[in-house]
Amino acid sequence: MRVLRTLDGRSYSGYRELKGAYDLGSYTLHIDHVQGDPFAPPSRVRARVHADLLRLDEKLLDNVDRRVAVEDFLTRRLVAGMEALGLQRRGSGRSGVILIDTPGQVVLPRSSVCVTSEAIEVRLAVGLPGDGRRIRAKDAEAMFVDDLPFILLHALSRSTFPFDELSEHVTLYCNQCYIRSELTGRGLIAFVGDGAVLARRNGISELPMDANLAVPFAAPDSLRVTWQLPSGKVMSGMGVPKGVTLIVGGGFHGKSTLLQAIMRGVYNHMAGDGREWCITDETAVKVRAEDGRRVSRVDISGFISNLPRGRSTTAFSTQDASGSTSQAAAIVEAIELGARVLLMDEDTSAANFMIRDARMQALVAKEREPITPFVDRVQELHRSMGVSSILVVGGSGDYLDVADVVLLMDEYVPIDATHNAEQICAKFPARRTVEATAPLSPMRERSPFPLTLGARMERMDVKSRTTFQYGDEFVELGALEQLIDESQTRAAAAMIRYALARYANGAKSLHTVVGQVIDDVYEQGFAVISPYEGCSGFYALPRPFEIGMIWNRVRALVIR
């Protein structure tokens, strides 16, 4: 890198001249984006090694699922390699750092590594070395000539590569995809494998509870299903059928933990997580109350009507939703985006949205209560719209009347209590009146609008997994429990920006627009949403639901 030597000691902005591609023998370096000073977000580079270095079996790359698993495995190996190297600082601020996106417990399509039959491309962030605002060229050279090749060779050389581990990683991922793709055909919406460890180490950890503390999952016999997997393995566990499933049981008996595992089962967990055989319909959406959020022209009239002062609920808008209106809107928005399964937990639901019992019906006349409680819609959602629900309801026996399956959690062991619940319903009839007077109206789709004429694209910045800044607005995403990785949030922000410019036209539905962006990323790679030439390595693919849910929450974006 001769050009580097001419930069030594010059002002840091001179690094801009480095933009471009360099053949460094063992790899090709692409410098795509150069930081302004040593304290700014690190520069973005790509390092390409020839496919011959690793000579992966072609079969590993001829299908999307396998490729995702391979790229995830290589990313994890690079992460481990960098940790082993223990990079030293090479000046002020972030000088000398080399970063790669670090996956968590879940395997996601990511931009960190891209494998083709010709090359393996690794996308990194590097802190170009400086002393204050002076370029430290020798250190920069050492990073590109010593550190980076060391990391690449350490992780990607054929001679030391653990091909068996790679093969296991890929097989597990493909088996998981297989079960998910077969669920619908077998009339199921979720599967929880026998032996699964659902509980986490603590309330803020994603790691599994110690094996000697956790009660492993065991399916009730009546709900047990088995799969013959493509790899030959046979897997048994609990199949949750379409329809309405209740999870009941005493407090602290593991109800929410089971629902959380089901909610996370829309993703594939890596070996050792404990939830690798928790597989859920990919369209399952966790719905919850979220007071204070904005809602834009959502038809919630099936759940809420006759608001005080004649306020519309067929196109309900607010900058500050209540618990019940936010939960109603979340349900409608999820179905609008294609959800076939709703997941709800009493812990995060609005009590008055879930139920109105006989005594309250006697005290407050139906005309004075805008809410049609969910208990009176949940069966209809299944029968007329094909939308199933799994609900954690420990506190209201009125739900037993509308359940197809009742799972009783007893000291972390699920028992099929469906029959027992039927007998109880016959013996103690609920005296409440069903409050759904008119059928649910068909879903109306809403359309996102492009930016109004003359409005400039606001700055979009992802601060963390749960906060997204659009212009001056901070959008709180904590309620999106299935948005699990900061790189998903980052990708969603870039995808919304891309879709605003390309697909949002005020006529296409949100569902269509989001689907088009995801198709583009699958077909052309993450580079299509990257704000600079090349590709950022810090994206992970979100589901269409999470992209739509973020869009729905940005007050500055118009959806009608």
Enumerate binding residues for Mg ion (CB under 5 A). 256, 347
**Residue 522 interacts with, from Mg ion, ligand ADP, none (CB under 5-8 Å by kind):** none
Q: Which residue is nearest to Mg ion (CB)?
A: 256
CB of 514 to ligand ADP, least distance (A): 32
Name, in order, each residue with C-beta under 8 angstroms of 433's C-beta and a sequence gap of 6 or more.
358, 361, 366
Tokens representing residue 129 in the block: 């070395």
Q: Of 52, 49, 40, 44, which Cα lies nearest the Cα of 19? A: 44
**Residue 511 interacts with, from ligand ADP, Mg ion, none (CB under 5-8 Å by kind):** none
Spatial separation of the C-alpha atoms in residues 279 and 140, rounded to whole Å: 46
Residue type, 419: H
**Residue 74 interacts with, from Mg ion, ligand ADP, none (CB under 5-8 Å by kind):** none
**Residue 79 interacts with, from ligand ADP, Mg ion, none (CB under 5-8 Å by kind):** none
CB of 257 to Mg ion, least distance (A): 8
Q: Of 545, 548, 541, 481, which Cα lies nearest the Cα of 108? A: 541
Spatial separation of the C-alpha atoms in residues 191 and 193, rounded to whole Å: 6
In terms of CB distance, is 198 or 547 closer to ligand ADP? Answer: 198
Residue type, 399: Y
Residue type, 476: E
| Sign of the dihedral through C-alpha 498, 504, 505, 508 | positive
CB of 351 to ligand ADP, least distance (A): 16
| Sign of the dihedral through C-alpha 8, 14, 17, 22 | positive
CB of 260 to ligand ADP, least distance (A): 7
Tell me the three state secondary structure of residue 397. Answer: helix
**Residue 253 interacts with, from Mg ion, ligand ADP, none (CB under 5-8 Å by kind):** ligand ADP
In terms of CB distance, is 38 or 254 closer to ligand ADP? Answer: 254
- Are 120 and 47 in contact by the 8 Å Cβ rule? The answer is no
**Residue 215 interacts with, from Mg ion, ligand ADP, none (CB under 5-8 Å by kind):** ligand ADP
CB of 216 to ligand ADP, least distance (A): 7
Spatial separation of the C-alpha atoms in residues 475 and 406, rounded to whole Å: 37
In terms of CB distance, is 100 or 248 closer to Mg ion? Answer: 248
**Residue 252 interacts with, from ligand ADP, Mg ion, none (CB under 5-8 Å by kind):** ligand ADP
In terms of CB distance, is 95 or 257 closer to ligand ADP? Answer: 257
Spatial separation of the C-alpha atoms in residues 77 and 73, rounded to whole Å: 6
In terms of CB distance, is 256 or 305 closer to Mg ion? Answer: 256
Phi/psi zone of residue 469: left (φ > 0), alpha (ψ -120 to 50 degrees), beta? beta
Catalog residues that contact ligand ADP under the rule CB under 6 A: 198-199, 209, 214-215, 249, 251-257, 409, 412
**Residue 97 interacts with, from ligand ADP, Mg ion, none (CB under 5-8 Å by kind):** none
In terms of CB distance, is 252 or 474 closer to ligand ADP? Answer: 252
**Residue 257 interacts with, from Mg ion, ligand ADP, none (CB under 5-8 Å by kind):** ligand ADP
Tokens representing residue 401 in the block: 């009347």
**Backbone phi and psi for residue 331, each to the nearest 5 degrees, phi listed first:** -65, -50
Spatial separation of the C-alpha atoms in residues 510 and 449, rounded to whole Å: 9
CB of 410 to ligand ADP, least distance (A): 10
Residues found in the chain: 560
| Sign of the dihedral through C-alpha 270, 271, 275, 276 | positive
CB of 187 to ligand ADP, least distance (A): 26
DSSP for 163-182?
Answer: HHHHHHHHHHHHHHHHHHHH
**Residue 198 interacts with, from Mg ion, ligand ADP, none (CB under 5-8 Å by kind):** ligand ADP
DSSP type of residue 200: B
In terms of CB distance, is 129 or 394 closer to Mg ion? Answer: 394
In terms of CB distance, is 215 or 271 closer to ligand ADP? Answer: 215
In terms of CB distance, is 135 or 196 closer to ligand ADP? Answer: 196
Tokens representing residue 399 in the block: 């739900």
CB of 198 to ligand ADP, least distance (A): 5
DSSP for 232-273?
Answer: S-EEEEEEEESSEEEEEESTTSSHHHHHHHHHHTTSEEPTTS
CB of 215 to ligand ADP, least distance (A): 4
Residue type, 360: M
In terms of CB distance, is 286 or 356 closer to ligand ADP? Answer: 286
CB of 550 to ligand ADP, least distance (A): 27
Q: Of 295, 292, 392, which Cα lies nearest the Cα of 336? A: 295
In terms of CB distance, is 86 or 203 closer to ligand ADP? Answer: 203
Tokens representing residue 318 in the block: 């607010």
CB of 376 to ligand ADP, least distance (A): 24
Tokens representing residue 423 in the block: 């007998």
CB of 225 to ligand ADP, least distance (A): 20
**Residue 412 interacts with, from ligand ADP, Mg ion, none (CB under 5-8 Å by kind):** ligand ADP
In terms of CB distance, is 256 or 296 closer to Mg ion? Answer: 256
**Residue 296 interacts with, from Mg ion, ligand ADP, none (CB under 5-8 Å by kind):** none
